[in-house]
Structure 1
Amino acid sequence: MSEDRDRRWRLALGGEDEALSQADQRLSDALTALYGEGDGDEKKRRGGLGGSTPNVARWLSDIREYFPSPVVQIVQKDAFDRLGLQRMLLEPEFLAAVEADINLVATLISLRTVMPDKTRDTARQVIAKVVAELMARLERRTAEALRGAVDRSRRTSRPRFSDIDWPRTIRANLGHYQAEYQTIVPERLIGFMRRQRRIVVDLDEVVLCLDQSGSMASSVVYASIFAALMASLPVVKTKLVCFDTVILDLTEELADPVEVLFGVRLGGGTDINQAVAYCAGRIERPSKAHLVLITDLFEGGNAEEMLTRLARLIGMGVNVIVLLALSDTGRPASNPVLSARVAALGAPVFACTPDQFPDLMAAALRREDLHAWAAGQDIKLTHPAQ
């Protein structure tokens, strides 16, 4: 125990130490390169990642070897902030060595216009890898939550396996409990009958209206992936509209989420009013429409006109939902005054995580009270302005 404590102290102090093993010395060097302190008032650190891409690539390799992925991502972020490594993202060798995560994807999106051709293909591969991992994590839950093809108002005794209503089936077969096997052998299955969706016009339509200003970076990535997932399901009509001071309709690109992300322009101003006006024009049937406005509500356009437009949409029967963020980082910074005024219109205003989003959309499609849904999820709602 004392040896382990001594080792930890030596690693914390850093620098050359003959008592450290070769592996521990490499770990110490990797940390000193980033976190080593300067001498006196000088900002220059004892260590440094060097100016060459191979040195940085080796440093990243050491970091990945000695730390779990969540820690690697934190160290990488510190390196970007403290040592100005964003310029290195323009080098394909560095990009191939970096630990890919959603923050890196957002950074690559913001740099795409200045990337040289030799880096663009590598960046696309990195983004594709992260997108594939996120879709694998979110796809099944999204598909199950939004399975609007299942009509839960009608029952059948011959359901498909995925449509079995297990709570009702178990209650109906409690008399067939097998004590020897400690299980129920159901004699009668109860499930949901699938709704025939031959008339496309009957589908609910979901318009994701996405603020692509720099502060919404992780929300942009997640929302783009969810838009692609929802567009792949034949149960809703999904549209994706991104905006800053310019409108970017990416609905036609939803078959390829990587292409969607490469089409996004992170940064710039914010004109929510203009975006709401555009989305209103894209809504075909207000009573079957859901407008999910993903923005921190820092409006650079006409706020009063934006509020009037939202009120008009709500009055027409559109299910308006305002997400202040769609990210893993909790409640974001947002415009409290405008948030409260939007809430006063009757629209729910809150932030949610990617894991909560499928259930949110399922509740929205069922036209449930989303204020009650959010409260049940322990999500803090914005209160209406008094």
Structure 2
Amino acid sequence: MTETDREAAGGDRLRRWRMVLGGGEADGTGRVLSGRDAAMDGALAALYGGGGAGARGQERSGGLGGSAPRVARWLGDIRSYFPAPVVQVMQRDAIERLGLATLLLEPEMLEAVEPDVHLVGTLLSLNKALPDTTRETARAVVRAVVGQLERRLAARTRATVTGALDRASRTSRPRHRDIDWDRTIRANLKNYLPEYRTVVPERLVGHTRAARSVRKEVVLCIDQSGSMAASVVFASVFGAVLASMRSLATRLVVFDTAVVDLTDQLDDPVDVLFGTQLGGGTDINRALAYCQSRITRPADTVVVLISDLYEGGIRDEMLKRVAAMKAAGVEFVALLALSDEGAPAYDREHAAALAALGAPAFACTPDLFPEVMAAALEKRPLPVP
């Protein structure tokens, strides 16, 4: 490396440290920013700045003010300076740190933001307050995020669940009319007799007529308290995907202290999401009571409870309902979160009580969810992370 290269590398390191430290006398770099670097620093300072001299000797201070046009310009700036994942983090911080949620009621604000799951959660929490001028823009933002999630998750979910249903319905002793000859031949290729040019089928593969005629039932029971926003978004997308499969009968129930059945809206996850009401209390027992009342074939039913388990209802009754459903043959799955956000906060005592009933409670990423559903449908051990 030449002396010029070393100087350039050292200058770039100083530049990066200056961007991290935010300027002022305490940063120790002595670096002055200009051009695009100064503009990026200004965008960061508007959100994270806390005093000190700026790149041009001005006092830095956090805050974007109360003007929607000014915030919309800032949102446009950060989209031009930073990659989408960083923009989404900054947007989330701006909403939380600077109280900008109410500004999302402005159409120009929604048009400037980078759509993501967290933004959808914020919009859903503001759902009832959205003015008519903003509602269609908000629906467009939500639809864009739902479309992204469906492209990411739908094909794999259908393939994984279809495979599980197929395996669950197979039998090694089918009647003649129920034999799957294609699979039977493939399973017995090792028994090929060249002299007779035939395969000896030592093992038959087929489906029982009862299994082929009975649809499995899936009940998604979703806690819509404010802390579960991301889980509600993902669960709505999965609900729509599962509902599109003819081999499944899917029901979607959301709850806080009240219970709402959104099954008739499952053809459009955007309608499902706008039918939720994030926030409020939690009554898991009441929600499970409703779900239990809708189960007609327990041995063919999977109930997925998505909740952080902070129960505001009757704890003992909730656990009795879970125990009763499992005793009747229901496959019961408790997900503490359905999101990419890492370890969630949850009620550990209730989680332990469910585990003691044979219903382990664990957080699940969206990418793992198809495998969880497949295991539940096949009644095999769940892939607990």
The TM-score with structure 2 as length reference comes to 0.82
Indicate yes or no: 2:16 matched with 1:31.
no
> Residue 149 of structure 1 contacts residue 194 of structure 1 at CA under 8 Å; is this kept in 2?
no
Counterpart-to-counterpart distance in 2, 1:194 and 1:262: 43
Identify which of 61, 82, 95 aligns with 1:67.
Answer: 82
Q: CA deviation at 1:272?
A: 0.7
> Residue 146 of structure 1 contacts residue 235 of structure 1 at CA under 8 Å; is this kept in 2?
no
> Residue 15 of structure 1 contacts residue 32 of structure 1 at CA under 8 Å; is this kept in 2?
no
Q: CA deviation at 1:137?
A: 0.1
Question: Which residue of 1 is the match for residue 298 of structure 2?
Answer: 286
Residue 45 and residue 266 in structure 1: after superposition, are their counterparts in 2 closer, same or farther (change >3 A)? farther
Identify which of 123, 136, 139 aligns with 2:154.
Answer: 139
Residue 12 and residue 277 in structure 1: after superposition, are their counterparts in 2 closer, same or farther (change >3 A)? closer
Identify which of 88, 91, 94 aligns with 2:106.
Answer: 91
> Residue 23 of structure 2 contacts residue 52 of structure 2 at CA under 8 Å; is this kept in 1?
no
Question: Which residue of 1 is the match for residue 352 of structure 2?
Answer: 340
The TM-score with structure 1 as length reference comes to 0.82
- The one-letter code matched in structure 1 to 2:108 is E
- The one-letter code matched in structure 1 to 2:107 is P
Give secondary structure in 1 for the equivalent of 2:372: helix
Counterpart-to-counterpart distance in 2, 1:354 and 1:271: 25
> Residue 243 of structure 1 contacts residue 270 of structure 1 at CA under 8 Å; is this kept in 2?
yes
Counterpart-to-counterpart distance in 1, 2:48 and 2:310: 35
Q: Indicate the structure (1 or 2) with the bigger Cα radius of gyration.
A: 2
Q: CA deviation at 1:356?
A: 0.3
Identify which of 118, 141, 147 aligns with 2:133.
Answer: 118
- The one-letter code matched in structure 2 to 1:5 is R
Residue 47 and residue 253 in structure 1: after superposition, are their counterparts in 2 closer, same or farther (change >3 A)? same
Residue 194 and residue 30 in structure 1: after superposition, are their counterparts in 2 closer, same or farther (change >3 A)? farther
> Residue 15 of structure 1 contacts residue 28 of structure 1 at CA under 8 Å; is this kept in 2?
no
Residue 345 and residue 19 in structure 1: after superposition, are their counterparts in 2 closer, same or farther (change >3 A)? closer
Indicate yes or no: 2:267 matched with 1:252.
no
Counterpart-to-counterpart distance in 1, 2:209 and 2:73: 55
- The one-letter code matched in structure 1 to 2:90 is V
- The one-letter code matched in structure 1 to 2:15 is R
Alpha-carbon RMSD: 3.0
Counterpart-to-counterpart distance in 2, 1:67 and 1:60: 11
Counterpart-to-counterpart distance in 1, 2:247 and 2:166: 6
User: Which portions of structure 1, spanning 4 or more consecutive aligned residues, are displaced by more than 4 angstroms?
Assistant: 13-19, 149-159, 192-201
Indicate yes or no: 2:278 matched with 1:266.
yes
Identify which of 213, 223, 234 aligns with 1:222.
Answer: 234
Give secondary structure in 1 for the equivalent of 2:70: helix
Task: Pick which of 325-334 and 134-143 moved more.
Answer: 325-334
Give secondary structure in 1 for the equivalent of 2:309: coil
Task: Describe the superposition over 1:204-241 as per-residue Cα deviations: whole angstroms up to 9, x where unpaired.
Answer: 10001111111111111111110111001112110000
Question: Which residue of 2 is the match for residue 240 of structure 1?
Answer: 252
Residue 203 and residue 73 in structure 1: after superposition, are their counterparts in 2 closer, same or farther (change >3 A)? same
> Residue 180 of structure 2 contacts residue 206 of structure 2 at CA under 8 Å; is this kept in 1?
no
Question: Which residue of 1 is the match for residue 324 of structure 2?
Answer: 312
Question: Which residue of 2 is the match for residue 50 of structure 1?
Answer: 65
> Residue 327 of structure 1 contacts residue 352 of structure 1 at CA under 8 Å; is this kept in 2?
yes
Identify which of 344, 352, 364 aligns with 2:364.
Answer: 352
Indicate yes or no: 2:222 matched with 1:210.
yes
Q: CA deviation at 1:193?
A: 8.2
Q: Which runs of 5+ in 2 are unaligned?
A: 1-8, 25-29, 54-58, 173-178, 191-198
Give secondary structure in 1 for the equivalent of 2:278: coil
> Residue 296 of structure 1 contacts residue 334 of structure 1 at CA under 8 Å; is this kept in 2?
yes
Counterpart-to-counterpart distance in 1, 2:267 and 2:244: 7
Residue 7 and residue 223 in structure 1: after superposition, are their counterparts in 2 closer, same or farther (change >3 A)? same
Q: CA deviation at 1:50?
A: 3.2
Task: Describe the superposition over 1:272-321 as per-residue Cα deviations: whole angstroms up to 9, x where unpaired.
Answer: 11111100111110110111111111111111111111111111111111
Indicate yes or no: 2:11 matched with 1:11.
no
Counterpart-to-counterpart distance in 2, 1:8 and 1:233: 51
Q: CA deviation at 1:343?
A: 1.4
Question: Which residue of 2 is the match for residue 76 of structure 1?
Answer: 91
Give secondary structure in 1 for the equivalent of 2:126: helix
Task: Describe the superposition over 1:36-81 as per-residue Cα deviations: whole angstroms up to 9, x where unpaired.
Answer: 11379xxx96253233222212211111111111111111111112
> Residue 115 of structure 2 contacts residue 145 of structure 2 at CA under 8 Å; is this kept in 1?
yes
